Amino acid sequence: MSGRATRLLHLLDALQRRRLPVRGAQLAEDLGVSLRTLYRDIDALRSQGADIAGDPGIGYQLRGGFLLPPMMFSAEELEAIVLGVRWVASHADPDLARAAGAALDRVTGVLPGQLRLQVETSGLYAPQWSPTAPEPWLPALRRAIRAGNAVRIDYRDAEGRASERVIWPFAMAFLAEVRLLAAWCEMRGDFRHFRADRVVGLHDTGRRYPDQRHRLLKRWHAQRGYRQDG
């Protein structure tokens, strides 16, 4: 790959990492090029189909729909991807594990030969740590989180007390020895955390909950002094 092509890909990468417009002078400094070269490179990317909004003195922002080719990954980034995919494959439910494998195959399929060999012969592994199979309702939970749907769960707390809850799930944490579900509990009117191994059953109601997931996450992060087992 030529030096100019590499430079253009680095510029695309720098733009894609930012959600807000960034001034040309900052981009030029980050990439180690002159401001004049940066302006030429932005024009070149625009001519190749990149939807870059902005002008000199205002700032630039890459709009959606223009993807970086995976051969831009560094060796460390590829190792992180391989390890992450193998971790998901050994810790998540079968549907997500298959999706992780398919995603890695898609990335590997377009890599140059040497990088493909590096992925295929990686020595980084993530052994299965849990002695129990993933909960069968995990795919339904993931879909509910994506859609912002309320779910009904049958739950048993640490003392074995049973309860039925309608909750608004917004996050799932894979901790060292347990999966933890974060949600707004309609019964308690507050955030609650539920251990996945204590959820006896889960049903997606198909009803969108009245808040937005990113707002719940923001409020949850602000609170963080959470209580468990409601």
Phi-psi region at 106: left, alpha or beta (left = phi > 0; alpha = psi -120 to 50): alpha
pLDDT tens digits for range 85-138: 988 888 888 888 889 888 888 777 767 777 788 888 888 888 766 556 778 888
**Virtual torsion, Cα 61, 67, 72, 73, nearest 10 deg:** 100
Closest CA to 38 of 19, 18, 17, 14: 14
pLDDT tens digits for range 32-69: 999 999 999 999 888 877 889 998 888 999 887 655 55
- Phi, psi for 217 (deg, rounded to 5): -60, -40
- Is the domain spanning 3-62 CATH 1.10.3210.10? The answer is no
Let me know if the fold of 3-62 is the same as that of 138-223.
no
138 burial level (CB within 10 Å; 0-12, 13-18, 19+): buried
* Residue 154 token pair: 């049958």
pLDDT tens digits for range 146-202: 999 999 999 999 899 999 999 999 999 887 678 889 999 999 999 999 998 899 999
DSSP E strands in the chain: the ranges are 52-55, 59-62, 149-156, 162-174, 179-185, 190-195, 199-208
Which residues face 185 on adjacent strands?
Answer: 167, 190
Residue 217 carries which side chain, given as an amino acid letter? Answer: L
Stronger pLDDT, 213 or 130, i.e. the higher one: 213
* Alpha-carbon gap, residue 170 to 147, rounded angstroms: 10
* Residue 82 token pair: 């391989």
The predicted structure's pLDDT at residue 42: 92
Q: Delimit the domains of the chain by residue range.
A: 3-62, 70-120, 138-223
* Proportion of the chain above pLDDT 90, given as a percent: 42
- Is the domain spanning 138-223 CATH 2.40.50.140? The answer is no
The predicted structure's pLDDT at residue 76: 85
pTM of the prediction?
A: 0.64
Confidence of residue 230 (pLDDT cuts 50, 70, 90): low
* Alpha-carbon gap, residue 164 to 173, rounded angstroms: 22
* Residue 139 token pair: 């795919």
Q: Which range among 6-15, 86-95, 141-150 has the greatest average pLDDT?
A: 141-150
